[in-house]
Structure 1
Amino acid sequence: MWPIFYTLLRGSSRYAPYITLPFAGIIGFIGYNIENILSDKYTPYNKSIEEQRNERLLDDEKLKNASKVDKLKYQANVFDKNVPPSLS
């Protein structure tokens, strides 16, 4: 058995897949099972983003009181802040 193995190792690289494939398969199988044992498979249920958005929109106070609309007023924005003295 060992002489055949050494002959295959000594030979050209055309035998490399026949040698490495079984070892890679065994190592992969062992790693897969260890990962399944160690990992937590429980994933809690979360509502979809669309459902969360719809609930937020329904809970919005402005939608409940559609008759009371605030006047549109100029509000400060990002461009009004942190203006250098030379531009103000």
Structure 2
Amino acid sequence: MWPLLWMTVRTYAPYVTFPVAFVVGAVGYHLEWFIRGDSPQPVEEEKSISERREDRKLQEIAGKDLTEVVSLKEKLEFTPRAVLNRNRPEKS
């Protein structure tokens, strides 16, 4: 009799354990909130990474004078010479 019972339990275990686990989980979830005494509060939305980056950029430029711009001649000095002179023949 025992081998027949164990074979039946082993065969139908997934069909029995899922509903049991579901009921135990649901009861535990509601019991926890009942014991805490307050209803579950909705989680406030967190700012996305791009929104945080935009806020940080706005704070960085808030104190700067935006009329001061670097001239193009000064910008060319910062570019690597190897890139600009790659296809040009060497000057003698």
TM-score bin, normalised by smaller chain: 0.3 to 0.5
Greater helix content: 2
